[in-house]
Amino acid sequence: MELNTFIDHTLLAATATKKEIKNLCEEAIKYQFYAVCVNSSRMKLAAEFLKNSNVKLAATIGFPLGASSLESKLVEADAAISQGANEIDMVMNLGLFKDGEFEMVQQEITAIKTAIGKNVLKVIIETAYLDNSEIAKASEIVMNAGADFVKTSTGFGSRGASLEDVQIMKKVVGDRVKIKASGGIRDAETARKYIDLGVSRIGTSSGIKIISVNSQ
């Protein structure tokens, strides 16, 4: 199992500088991580640093709360794709979900997937704020909306991913939608546990540590 091929090398701090973004991208190229994931305002910069590499570029949308309007999410997604993003990691509207406005939540996801076309859409459901039945329902909505991935966490919630979260998600989506686990995954042993459950991508800022342990 080549763990590097599962990793989205991530830097989403509000204070992330040009130097830090450059370093992130250089690390992703060196260690052959699958993708780099950064905030949408850093798309042009990251795209330039990743030029002529095989590393994909993911932009966060409506991050980290998911509470921005559909219109603003669409503009942000369109701008990110035009500036070089291959993938979009959007945050589901948790308030609408908690209100039981499931159709509106699904329509939002579908609208963003339609707007970005063949580019990959990952939907963050922020499992920290959901009970088990809500995790299942959110996963179902993401699947029915046509997204490519359902993702556990932003890394900015009260907790990150858990193995139980992923088990619930996998039971709902099966092989119809891929799963990305993120938040608190910092070592190779933990990463392998998630992959064994069927996770296709790991979002982490600890990719180098994971790879270093894996190579020993």
| pLDDT 10s digits, 48-57 | 999 999 999 9
Q: Tokens 């959110």 belong to which residue?
A: 138
Q: For residues 115 and 85, what is the distance between their CA atoms, to the nearest angstrom?
A: 13
**pTM of the entire predicted model:** 0.96
Residues annotated catalytic, as ranges: 89, 151, 180
Number of domains forming the structure of the chain: 1
Q: What is the pLDDT of residue 215?
A: 46
Q: For residues 111 and 109, what is the distance between their CA atoms, to the nearest angstrom?
A: 5
Q: Which residues of the chain have pLDDT under 50?
A: 214-216
Quick one: which of 158, 211, 152, 157 has its CA closest to 182? 152
Region of 202 on the Ramachandran plot (φ > 0 left; ψ -120 to 50 alpha; else beta) = beta
Region of 11 on the Ramachandran plot (φ > 0 left; ψ -120 to 50 alpha; else beta) = beta
**What backbone torsions phi and psi does residue 6 show, to the nearest 5 degrees?**
-100, -10
Burial readout 20-46 (b: 16 or more C-beta within 10 A, e: otherwise): ebeebbebbbebebbbbbbbbebbebb
User: Each residue of 143-155: pLDDT tens digit?
Assistant: 999 999 999 999 9
CATH code of residue 75: 3.20.20.70
Quote the domain boundaries for residue 172.
Answer: 3-215
Give the torsion through C-alpha atoms of 121, 140, 167, 155, to 10 deg: 40
Structure tokens of 190?
């933990």
